[in-house]
Amino acid sequence: MRLESPGLTTDLDLLRLQGATVTDHGDHLVVRTEANPTFWWGNFVLVPTAAHADEVDRWVARFEEEFPDAQHRAVAFAHDGGGTDAWAARGWDVEGDVDLATTTLPTAADAADGIQLRALTSDDDWEQSAQVGARDTPQEQRDPRLVFERRRVTAQRGLVDAGRAQWFGAFDGDRLVARLGIVRLGDLARYQDVVTLESHRRRGLAGALVRAAGEWAFEDPAVGRLVIVAEDGGPAIGLYQRAGFAEVARHVGVSRPPA
C-alpha cells in the first residue's frame, strides 16, 4: 500500500524497526506492537484515505476486531480531508499532523549559556528521558505511564545501539531539560520525540537539538532529506519553518482514551 505522507511512511518504518508488525488488508493496514500494548500509536488501524462521516462504525468495528483486549481506540487516516467531524461528535479526540521536510542542514542559534548538548549514553540519561516523557502525567496515572515510557526508551536505545539512530539531550548541569531523537531510514532521516521542559522553553534548545541531530543524520551520504512531524496549528511548526523545513503533507488520527 502506497502512502504519500513521509511522516506516516517513516512512522511505519520506525515501528517495524522496534518490533511492530504491519499487516496489509488491502484497503487498510493493521499496526501491532505486542511488546508495548498500551502504546496507542503502535497499535492502531491505518486507512490510506481521508476520513468519511459514514464510515465511523466500520473502522471502530475493525479496530475492535483486531484489538479486542485494548482499552484505547486509535485510527489514522493518510489524508486530512476534513471528514473527522463525525468522530469528534462522538467524543473522539482528533489530532491533525503536518509533515515537514528539508534537504539542507537546519539553521538555529547556539544553545543558551550553561546548557550542554550531547548524545544520551548512560543508564541515567535514558531514565531521565523516560521521566521527561512522563512529565505531564497526573500523579494517579504516573506509574503506568512510566512503564510505557521505559518500554519506549528500551526500543529507542536498541536503535541507537544498532547504529540506526541517535538521541540528543540538552542538559542544565546533570539535569535533562530537552531531548529528541533522529533515525536514519535509507534516504530519509526522521526526527522523534521533540520535548522541552516548560521551565526551559523559549531558550532555543529545541532548535539547537534539531540542528545537532541533522548534522548527525547527514554524516551518512545516503540521507538526502530530513522529515519532522508537528501538530497542526501548534507552535512547533513556526520553529521548524524558521529552521528551513517546508510542509509536504498532512494526515490525521482519531483516538479515544480508556474508559
Mean pLDDT, each 10-residue run in order, the chain (259 residues)? 89 92 96 90 95 94 95 93 89 95 92 89 96 83 86 92 96 96 97 92 92 97 97 91 95 87
- What pLDDT is recorded for position 141? 80
- What pLDDT is recorded for position 65? 96
- What pLDDT is recorded for position 259? 61
- What pLDDT is recorded for position 202? 86
- What pLDDT is recorded for position 83? 84
CA dist list (Å): 16 to 10, 32, 62, 243, 256: 10, 9, 21, 29, 24
- What pLDDT is recorded for position 88? 94
Who's near 126: CB < 8 A, 6+ residues apart? 120, 153, 156, 157
